[in-house]
Amino acid sequence: MPNEKSVAIISVGKELSLKKTIKLEVECYGITFYENEFFVTSGWSTEKEIQVIDSEGVVKRKLRPEAGVLKCPLYVTVEPKFGRVYVSDYENGVVGLDMGGEPIFRYNDTTTKGYMGICSTPSGDVFICTFQPNGISKVMKENKLVGSLPPDESELEPVITLPNKGGQRPRSIAYSRKTNRILISFVGQSVDVMSIYHM
C-alpha cells in the first residue's frame, strides 16, 4: 500500500482477513514472493531500491544499483529459472538485476512509454505491461548487456495488443502456475476490470 508505506499480508479463504501489516520507509509499490522472502519496490520514494524482507517485516537486504539505473521502480518479479530480479521502471524500462542488486540487463527505447506490471513464468519468460504501445509484451532478453538499445532495435515482442479507445490501460500482471494463465488488471476512464488470458 504505497500511500501508507506498508505491506498487508492477507489470509485467503472463504473470506479475506488481514493477518499482519508491515511498515517500511519506502512506498511499497510493487511486491513479489520468492523463496520465503518478499521483494518490495520503492516506487517514487527518494530511495531507488528493492527491499528484501522476511514475513516478520525484517529487512534482510536492499538491492540498490548505482544511481540512474532505477528512477521509478514500480513492479518486480523474480525469474525462477535463473534467479534474476526484473523490475519495471516507469521511465527507465525493464531492468534485470542479480540477487546482489548488480544490473545485468536493461531495456528501453524511444517508442515505448509507461512500463508497468511485470511477471515471469517457470520457463523463464518475462512479460510486461506498457501504456504505449497499449498492451502486453514479452521481453526478449537473450545476450543483452546493461545499456539502452538503439530505437530501431526493439526487444519487446507484442503478445497482446489493446485498442487505445476507452482509456483502458494494463496496470498489473501475474502468472498462475496452476492454470498456466496470465491475469491482467486494467485501469481506465470508466471502470476498472481484470482479464485472464491463456498462455
Closest CA to 128 of 101, 81, 92, 180: 92
| pLDDT score for 196 | 61
| pLDDT score for 104 | 87
Which position has the higher pLDDT, 115 or 157?
115
The answer, yes or no, to whether residue 153 has pLDDT greater than 80, is: no
Q: For residue 189, name the pLDDT band (cuts at 50, 70, 90).
A: low
Tell me the three cell numbers of residue 171: 496496470
The answer, yes or no, to whether residue 143 has pLDDT greater than 80, is: no
| pLDDT score for 193 | 62
Cis peptide bond upstream of 133, omega within 30: yes
Instruction: Tell me how far apart the alpha carbons of residues 46 and 41 are, in angstroms, rounded to a whole number.
Output: 12
Closest CA to 57 of 119, 124, 8: 8
Q: Per-residue pLDDT averaged across 72-93, rounded? A: 91
The answer, yes or no, to whether residue 74 has pLDDT greater than 90, is: yes
| pLDDT score for 157 | 86
- Other C-beta atoms closer than 10 Å to the C-beta of 15 total 6
Domains parsed from the chain with CATH numbers: 2-162 (2.130.10.10)
Which position has the higher pLDDT, 121 or 80?
121
CB of 78 closer than 8 Å to CB of 50: no
| pLDDT score for 198 | 64
Which position has the higher pLDDT, 167 or 11?
11
- 164 in the Ramachandran plot: left (φ > 0), alpha (ψ -120 to 50) or beta? alpha
| pLDDT score for 194 | 62
| pLDDT score for 191 | 59
Task: Spell out where the chain has E strands.
Answer: 6-12, 16-23, 31-34, 37-41, 50-53, 59-63, 73-79, 84-89, 93-97, 103-107, 113-120, 126-132, 135-139, 156-161, 169-176, 181-187, 193-198
Tens-digit pLDDT profile for residues 91-142: 899 999 999 999 988 888 778 889 999 999 888 889 999 998 889 999 886 6
pTM: 0.86
The answer, yes or no, to whether residue 164 has pLDDT greater than 80, is: no
Which position has the higher pLDDT, 150 or 52?
52
Q: For residue 169, name the pLDDT band (cuts at 50, 70, 90).
A: confident
Biggest CA–CA distance in the chain, Å, is: 51
